[in-house]
Amino acid sequence: MELYYSFSVLIVLASLFAYINHRFLKLPPTIGIMLIAIIASIIVRVAGNRIFPETSEELISLISGFDFTEVLMNAMLNFLLFAGAIHINFANLKEQYLPVITFSTISVVISTFVIAGIVYYVSGLFGIEITFIYCLLFGALISPTDPIAVLGILKKTNVPKSLETKIAGESLFNDGVAVVLFAVILQLAQSPSTEFTAGTVAWLLAEEAIGGLLLGVVLGFTASKAIKKIDDYIISVLITISVVMGGHLIAQAMHISGPLTMVAAGILIGNYGKKVAMSPITKDYLNKFWELIDEILNAILFLFIGFELLLIPNIESYWAISTVTIFIVLFARLLSIWLPSIIIPFKEKFSRGTIAILVWGGLRGGVSIALALSVGSGAHKELILEMTYFVVVFSVIVQGLTVGRLTKRALA
């Protein structure tokens, strides 16, 4: 009953905020919902106890009692990644495979270490003591671009197809690398006696990534074959739901990447499955179903991101370094794109405009906040959470609202 009550309140608020945004603000849905939730959170924090104390207390209790990390990483993310991947054109992805692989692996590692090094130095200037391992932890959780935020914003912009594939493909694939890096660094931070070599970390990354991709291919191929033997759009949709939910359970049991499993399964069903296994009516219903799931879950997710402001106890404590961190993350993103672009022989040379779009279009979102919340209680959790929140809010609102205009100017 508690879970049903929580979801009921979130759905009601998400629909109310979506309505207000559509009628009055007319912003992209995810940005509008998040912005209204942030404003509501500020009102609750500033005047809630004086104006409506009981309602404020209930809302704070609801948000703090909601295990955002568990719900996002083990439930919503699987559906959202599959919903995004099922619309990815494999031919376009294949054409851009080298940039996608590079930016989702090498770039994540570069960004992690650059952010860690600068944050470690800057924190001393602000009189904040934080160990380098926790700076590295922050670098790992904030470096991956968020597929949910990126795909949601790209729908509303006129980014060229090749660029869109690079940004979307990178955001879909880099979660596996980032989550493994984060898990290894977190274990080192919490258990310093644990020993990890470069070979161990590389093996973990390979096991998670390759295992996840292979499982996704098997699930996508099997589901496509099953759909081909029937002509029923209801059962076909049900099969894809079972791929997401059952696939996550299998990936968890095998200790491989669930996100990459969903991406691979979605791409295979969205390309091979739609081409050889589905009638036009099944394809139409499947597309509409997953578009609807995508929109609903995105609304709930960005509503919750907005309300995460209520979980930061003393936001005034680290506002200065958190603001500076926004520019640190953008600088690290620039280096992580620019360095590979001048070293690796890509088919097409990256212009300044292309690099600018890749940097500004690399949005951060719910995945980073979920990872920050998963850090155990300690001296640095509040700092990491606040820096993460500042970067995510700036990324979604400022970068998300301006990436379309930047694209027009950069490619003019």
Question: Token pair of 175, please?
Answer: 């979660």
Q: State which of 64, 84, 110 marks the end of a domain.
A: 64
Are 86 and 51 within one domain?
no
Are 59 and 183 within one domain?
no
Instruction: Report, as ranges of residue numbers, the positions in the chain whose pLDDT lies below 50.
Output: none
Are 296 and 405 within one domain?
yes
User: Residue 4 has what pLDDT?
Assistant: 82
Instruction: From 130, 145, 135, 134, select the one nearest 115 (Cα to Cα).
Output: 135
Are 16 and 116 within one domain?
no
Question: Token pair of 97, please?
Answer: 């495979």
Whole-number Å distance between alpha carbons of 308 and 323: 17
Residue type, 303: L
Q: For the domain that residue 343 is a member of, what is the CATH number?
A: 1.20.1530.20
Domain range for 57: 2-64
Alpha helices, DSSP H, located in 191-257: 198-228, 233-254
Are 16 and 102 within one domain?
no
User: Residue 318 has what pLDDT?
Assistant: 92
Q: State which of 64, 96, 113 marks the end of a domain.
A: 64
User: Residue 125 has what pLDDT?
Assistant: 95
Are 355 and 402 within one domain?
yes
Instruction: From 163, 162, 168, select the one nearest 150 (Cα to Cα).
Output: 168
User: Residue 313 has what pLDDT?
Assistant: 79
Question: Token pair of 17, please?
Answer: 């905020």
User: Residue 194 has what pLDDT?
Assistant: 67
CB 236 within 8 A of CB 278: yes
DSSP characters over 20-82: HIIIII---HHHHHHHHHHHHHHHHHHHHHHH-HHHHHHHHHHHHTS-HHHHIIIIIHHHHHH
Helix (H) or strand (E) holding 407: helix 400-410
Are 49 and 86 within one domain?
no
- Give the CA distances from residue 71 to residues 58, 76, 152, in Å, rounded to whole numbers and listed in that order: 20, 6, 19
Residue 206 neighbours by CB under 8 Å, 6+ apart: none
Question: Token pair of 372, please?
Answer: 């920050």
Whole-number Å distance between alpha carbons of 173 and 409: 28
pTM for this prediction: 0.92
**Cα angle for residues 109, 308, 356 (degrees, 5° grid):** 40
Are 27 and 91 within one domain?
no
Residue 29 neighbours by CB under 8 Å, 6+ apart: 18, 21, 22, 152, 295, 298, 299
Q: How many structural domains does the chain have?
A: 2
User: Residue 156 has what pLDDT?
Assistant: 65
User: Residue 152 has what pLDDT?
Assistant: 66
Whole-number Å distance between alpha carbons of 185 and 167: 26
Are 153 and 230 within one domain?
yes
Query: How far does CA 190 lie from the centroid of its chain?
Result: 24
Are 192 and 96 within one domain?
yes
Are 125 and 260 within one domain?
yes
Are 80 and 59 within one domain?
no
Q: State which of 45, 64, 83 marks the end of a domain.
A: 64
